[in-house]
Chain A
């Protein structure tokens, strides 16, 4: 066990955990931020996507000891009132089916648009490749990303 000071969604948080604990479980079980989802635990599905700084990361692969003082954003902190352009576009196109993968999809899409405000179809497909949606909402996700890009 060790103590870590984290900066999550703009708030300072302290946790006392095994240094090898992935951020996924620190968020879900120690900080009660359950929007970040467990899907595979091996960087294959993207359900656990968060932002480390501005970069999309698989939180199942990021241990708490690797974070240091880099700020973390989770789906709960993506916007104050659920009104990030990506979240709004997701609601506009009613993207979700079961909804389980969508926090990861949204976080990945938000990071993509930050880095590339006007991605082409091929760029969207490449950037979103690591995010599985078992319900098959892919076409809607692409449409929503384009709406969010404006």
Chain B
């Protein structure tokens, strides 16, 4: 890669460089509150900062501050994104201070944590930010030294001119560089010249995390701040009827009790405005403990909620009506309904060849159904947000994955222009998709406006779990047809869920089979759902990969060899044109995991399962080694192969991959949200089971395919396939196939 046009994001570049050209300097006092105080080596702060563009500023002493634009939810972008800027700037990482950027849609592109897209979509812009600044520094040096700019080189924050022997630190040239015009195009580094990208850099917030410094939304505090909590209906399908707050009001520390409507009725909702309960009771007071107690003293009557039709704009803006039925739902009815739907013809989404005839003429057909329950995101930090709304502006601080969108929601609700809404992002105690849906940001704003005071809205764990935007409940039925020689001649998937289908009809094995049929269906529900780490894939990958294992078994083939044969077919003679994967890269991760796991060599007492999947632009294959101890399945080791293009920060990528694996095994084995008469039967971690230390794999090895493809994401793709590997290993260990999540039933039976 040589030259790139800087026009991408130019808006922001021009804007800030104009400021910088006017001699924009940011004083020391401002920095004192914002700087990272716990760098490995304590940096000497500069007296002056020179802003070269929206992403970075350089001090006269050579210290560089890089803004990390995207929300940090544990995926480590706060370290990895600035590394990309630092690489192209060509600076020593030791001299870098990282700051969380505020929401600024004029400066940054896509300040959103979701879809494993931060690095992928940030890549070019981040490189450009670093390269542009480096170019401006070179120009400044060339002018000062009266030499051609092409003869100026850089190395780790120092500018050199070889012929004259001149050199200068970035800090010395920063003031002049800030006045240089933004170049029309800049040169990016060759991948082989990377010095920071591809090397392990530790979490920039690590020292603060291990010493308990305030970082998270729940830690945020402001002078005169009140604590607010909400009470929502106890069941989906209910709404508020009346409140008797007389006892609660009289309790110590309580300032007010009132009700709010989060969104106005005529408001056109965005996709991230999902909230099952729009009318809430609010208790506000001095401290969390006092407010928690007052909540319990409220006497509230609830009543059945009517059916609703809500217009919701999707991610790309098109609006559609979402029907929220009335009634109190039960998990037992859901299970029966899903089985019923899975047994009848649904909407055909893709048909290749003539699958119906192939099935009719088959010598053998196998059919299997897979299910999974609703899941609660259960981020360790419950939902919360700070708001201070005054007559002319709204200040909001806290953990949110979609600040760009929520800014609009808040503006609409408060009747203020978007420019008056200021959203600052704290570090976030987990996201997993839950914090895409920021009704709690709007709630906080409405409460602050009503109280005319700074407030922090805090959800209890119970509020958090029972007011979810859950992972939907899913169901998938797979069928495979074989001829008399056990050749696979047709493949059929019918998948659906409450209230959405997990089907991805154009993913593997579509494209590898002459006769292929995919159908989907959905059943309405008033239980609110949302994206949950690797939406849809988090179920369908496991189902599909477990089914392929059975298909390989019928054919008497090794499960890896079988998949590679299909992928070979898809690469050489693909069926259809819509196939949503690159067969060669898919095969690549399977080959890598086969090699690294020593696949094919049997170890006594070790039961192995394999799985591979492509989603969120990255390819992942995994092998689980499972042993039985006293009849209990123990995951002894996970071998994982990943192709996510260029690896930015290996230590963080491995950590995130380990997390995706533990998360996948945990939810598949132990977690379920169930409902009785609309009421969640799990309200806290006593009944809502999350994986614990002793249940985690004993070891995880992660290997990355080396290539020079632009990086893709990691937060999600490592998670879905592990469920298939687990199911396949459990079968090897126990001789029994598992179809219904959570699988823990099998360990109870065996234990």
Residues of A within 8 A of B (CB): 1, 17-18, 21-22, 25, 28-30, 32-42, 44-45, 47, 74-76, 78, 82, 87, 90-91, 94-103, 106, 121, 124-126, 128-129, 131-142
Contacts and interface: CB of A to CB of B under 8 A. Distances in A.
A126 to B, nearest CB: 7
Contacts of A101: 380, 429
Given A39-B461, A94-B655, A132 B287 contact: no
Contacts of B290: 18
Interface in B53-67: none
Given A18-B290, A40-B461, A132-B692, A97 B655 contact: yes
A125 B693 contact: yes
A87 B429 CA distance: 19
A97 B206 contact: no
B568 interface: no
Interface stretch (B1-9, B544-552, B660-668): B660-668
A136 B659 contact: yes
19 contacts: A21-B289, A22-B289, A29-B289, A35-B213, A39-B461, A39-B685, A90-B209, A96-B203, A96-B205, A96-B206, A98-B74, A99-B205, A121-B698, A129-B694, A134-B690, A136-B660, A136-B661, A138-B693, A141-B693
Contacts of B684: 40-42, 44
Contact of A82 (B210, B216, B227): B210
A134 to B, nearest CB: 5
Contact of A139 (B75, B431, B658): B658
Q: Is the interface of A mostly helix, strand, loop or mixed?
A: loop
Quick one: which of B213, B227, B432 has the most chain A CB within 10 A? B213
Given A100-B429, A102-B210, A135-B430, A38 B382 contact: yes
B548 to A, nearest CB: 25
Nearest to A74: B212
Interface in B27-43: 38
Contacts of B227: 29
Quick one: which of B431, B432, B655, B698 has the most chain A CB within 10 A? B655
B378 A134 contact: yes
B380 A34 contact: no
B206 A131 contact: no
A90 B379 CA distance: 21
B697 interface: yes
B429 A91 contact: no
A12 to B, nearest CB: 20
Nearest to A26: B289
B207 A82 contact: yes
A45 B380 contact: yes
Given A82-B210, A134-B379, 16 more contacts: A25-B289, A37-B381, A37-B429, A39-B685, A40-B684, A41-B460, A90-B209, A97-B75, A97-B659, A98-B430, A100-B381, A134-B432, A135-B430, A136-B662, A136-B691, A139-B658
A98 B693 contact: no
Given A38-B218, A87-B210, A99-B205, A45 B430 contact: no
A40 B382 CA distance: 9
Contacts of A78: 211
A39 B213 contact: no
Contacts of B694: 125-126, 129
Interface string B89-126: 00000000000000000000000000000000000000
